[in-house]
Amino acid sequence: MIQNPILRGFNPDASIIRVEDDYYIATSTFEWFPGVLIHHSKDLMNWRPLTRPLDRVSQLDLRGVPSSGGIWAPSLSYSDGTYYLCFTNVVGRKGVYKDLHNYIVTAPSIEGPWSEPMYLNSSGFDHFLFHDTDGRKYLFNMQWDFRKNKSRFAGIIMQEFCPDEGKLIGEIKLITQGTDLGVTEGPMVYKKDGFYYLLVAEGGTGPMHAATLMRATSVDGPYEVDPDYPIITTRDTPEHPLQNAGHGSLVKTQLGDWYMVFICSRPLPDGNKLSPLGRETSLQKVVWTADGWLRLAAGGKQPQLHIPETELTPHPFEPEPVRDEFDDPKLSVHWHTLRVPADESWLSLTECPGFLRLKGRESLTSLHNQSLVARRIQSFQCEMVTCVAFEPVAFTQMAGLVLYYDESDHYYLRISHDEQLGKHLAIIVSDQGQYEELDAYVPIPEGERIYLKATMNFDKIQFSYRLDGQSWLPIGSTLYSGNLADSYQRKLSFTGAFVGLCAQDLRGTRLQADFDFFDYEELER
């Protein structure tokens, strides 16, 4: 059986395509750099992170973007030997406004090189480029309306895209305002049996989320709504293990079967409905009815936690190693930096071979130049371990292991220096932006490197430490993992929990911290 989610941890807004025998899914990365993560599969069951196409500032500038801004809902497409990637960079999302800019990049191969971006528009988000059979191309996106007494989600618009000119041309047309589910976004367009099918997300990304199908005989409509909408949702089943189901994307296999990938969230089992792993990607088989509508192959509207394997030839990949020894001159595809690219001015894998060297910069609340490198947490039960050599001489210098949602919510096991304590280890908690230090300070001998560990067991997080040749010792009280969820305290955010290695030097002297390795081990999927 295929176990859902297929892309675990923070992997939202999936856009799937097939090119010959290869399947690719692009997901949102928001404020994390490089932008957009593309996964690869040959059987729809086994997936590996493959590439991150927006890997230079000339393509994507994230400095100063708000948390849960940046890259929203990228979409992949392919036509005549060229890959196309549409994406939004949300640079402002305060109040009723959305300051956002939409672009398209192209490449001859999924692994690049990807072009410099072509600007599209700034009218909304969730862009999708449809390649019609007559060679014309059309861009679809939701339209944002900030005005009083107007729906913020003002329907789906379309406009023709001219690849030769690299811009949108012709009339902008409103093709649907959605259904009574509201919050219509995430358009994906497919052509089959003389119909243009429009698949949209509705209901918002929370408990009311859903995916709805419409169709028309002309690309610009009018679009009729599936009489039995939505296709998929968990809005009426709050006990379902895959909550917030919606925002779908379709793919047809080389054997003629159809599948849909979609967003979902797995809540903690404590009843608080919080999902620190973020929005994940799951898979369902779908079938066409005699009258030309899509239905879940298993029946009903709720997704299945397990679905039968496809009839494609199984193609497993080598399992990811638990330990990253930092022996390669480049970071692995699992690592992201926050808003800015990794460069030798603050991150090096070569200055001290076999170590990740971070040079301390701004604080964990900065929206500009943090020295933080992190990867997704993908399991409710996991251990994360590192070993760091760091010799601070002031309280303004810190380095260590952080469990990070954003600048307002994180847990930080850090080494620093204090006039009375000297070099020591302690825990910083940021809860909705409120700074706190747990009353657990552990002196560390000068010149000694220290091992740091975070253990996550569903809703509980425990930090531990040890010195060379000694046993692990817990530090601080048990912490609540729900603080790292996007709906914690009802804040409107869209990412997920990361585990990171970081360094700060608020003096501006860029004191270095050397990390020997990093272990990420899942104790239970």
Name, in order, each residue with C-beta under 8 angstroms of 194's C-beta and a sequence gap of 6 or more: 217
The pLDDT of residue 491 is 79
Q: Please, which pLDDT band fits residue 492 given cuts at 50, 70 and 90? A: confident
Confidence class for position 18, pLDDT limits 50, 70, 90: very high
Pick from 23, 7, 5: which is nearest to 253 by CA?
Answer: 23
Q: Taking residues 78-89, report their average pLDDT.
A: 98
Instruction: Clarify whether 13 is annotated catalytic.
Output: yes
Candidate list 31, 43, 185, 324, residue with the active-site label: 185
Contact 89, 71 (CB under 8 A): yes
Give residue for tokens 């497409």.
77
Domain at 323-524, CATH class: mainly beta
Give the mean model confidence (pLDDT) for residues 26-42. 98
Residue 490, φ and ψ in degrees, nearest 5:
65, 20
- Say if strands 37-41 and 70-79 run parallel, antiparallel, or are unpaired: unpaired
Residues 6+ apart with CB under 8 A from 148: none
Per-residue pLDDT for 490 more than 90?
no
Q: Alpha-carbon Rg of the chain, whole angstroms?
A: 23
pLDDT tens across 335-349, in order?
Answer: 999 999 999 999 999
For the chain, the structural domain boundaries read: 2-307, 323-524
Evaluate whether 372 touches 404 at the Cβ level (below 8 Å).
yes
- Residue 512: C-alpha distances to residues 341, 348, 361, 387, 518 (Å): 18, 10, 10, 14, 17
CA distance 459 to 268: 6
Mean pLDDT of 295-299: 97
State the pLDDT at residue 26. 98
What is the structure's pLDDT at 343? 95
Choose, from 13, 391, 407, 505, the residue flagged as catalytic.
Answer: 13
Q: For the residues 361-386, what does the mean pLDDT come to?
A: 98
Residue 521's CB is within 10 A of a number of other CB atoms, namely: 13
CATH class in words for 2-307: mainly beta
pLDDT band, very low/low/confident/very high, at 408 (cuts 50, 70, 90): very high
